[in-house]
Amino acid sequence: MALRRASSCFFNKLKLNLNLNPNLNNVAHRNLSADVGGTPPLHDSMMNQIFHLDINSQIGSCMPLAAMRIGTMIHNIEMNPGQGGKLVRAPGTCAKILKEPSSKYCLVRLPSGAEKLISTRCRATIGMNSNPGHAARKLRKAGQSRWLGIRPKVRGVAMNPVDHPHGGGEGKSKSSGSHGKCSRTPWGKPCKSGYKTGPLKRRK
């Protein structure tokens, strides 16, 4: 775990110094070999693992949550291992790892502010999604929304009674028929005043 927490800057400088100064490389090899029991193959494997983890922790790398550090910004997160990215895929969004993945689950804060426990075997991409100004873009005319595949939204009070419960009547009134003044969906179900519209399984 201590090896994973090492910063990229430290290992980049270490790698540069080892390449420039062969004597320093030999000293580091002898010290680390003495610490791990004097076995050069183990030393080489440990150093390769350190540099491998450090290189993979760059922006755009996809890896399991277990190999990431606390405070890492991630996106395109899996909900189940091998399922593919499901969370944090909108433009300009990112999530943050709040707790070091020491157990089977990792605590992640989503863009909505909610905190969710996700399996450490799930993979995610390091960094933030591009195009952060997507939500602030304004559509200048109706044709732009049609180019994006967005169809017009017609008000219920502008329809006929056969098309919507709010339709018909004189003026802007939605009190036609036996529905009264309560706002309803196009299928006649109340949608305001605290009416429970979710399935019964979720209420329990």
Domain boundary, last residue among 83, 105, 132: 132
Range of the domain at 16: 8-56
CATH of the domain at 179: 4.10.950.10
Per-residue pLDDT of the chain (204 residues; tens, 9 = 90+): 444 444 444 455 555 555 555 554 454 444 444 444 444 555 555 555 544 455 556 889 999 998 888 899 999 999 999 999 999 999 999 999 998 767 789 999 999 999 999 999 999 999 999 998 888 889 999 999 999 999 999 998 899 989 988 888 888 887 655 556 688 888 888 887 777 766 766 555
Domain boundary, last residue among 104, 132, 160: 132
Residue 37: CB atoms within 10 Å: 8
Q: What pLDDT, on a 0 to 100 scale, did the predictor assign at position 54? A: 54
Q: Within this chain, do residues 69 and 47 fall inside the same structural domain, yes or no?
A: no
CA pseudo-torsion sign 161, 163, 165, 169: negative
Q: Within this chain, do residues 50 and 82 fall inside the same structural domain, yes or no?
A: no
- CA dist 114 → 57, 96, 107, 127 (Å): 25, 11, 10, 19
Give yes or no for a contact between 119 and 125, defined as CB atoms under 8 angstroms apart.
Answer: no
Question: Per the confidence metrics, is the pTM higher than 0.85?
Answer: no
Q: What pLDDT, on a 0 to 100 scale, did the predictor assign at position 37? A: 47
Q: What pLDDT, on a 0 to 100 scale, did the predictor assign at position 24? A: 44
Give a yes or no: residue 201 inside a domain. no
Q: How far apart are CA 73 and CA 95, in angstroms?
A: 6
Q: Within this chain, do residues 74 and 128 fall inside the same structural domain, yes or no?
A: yes
Q: Within this chain, do residues 48 and 104 fall inside the same structural domain, yes or no?
A: no
Please state the domain count of the chain: 3
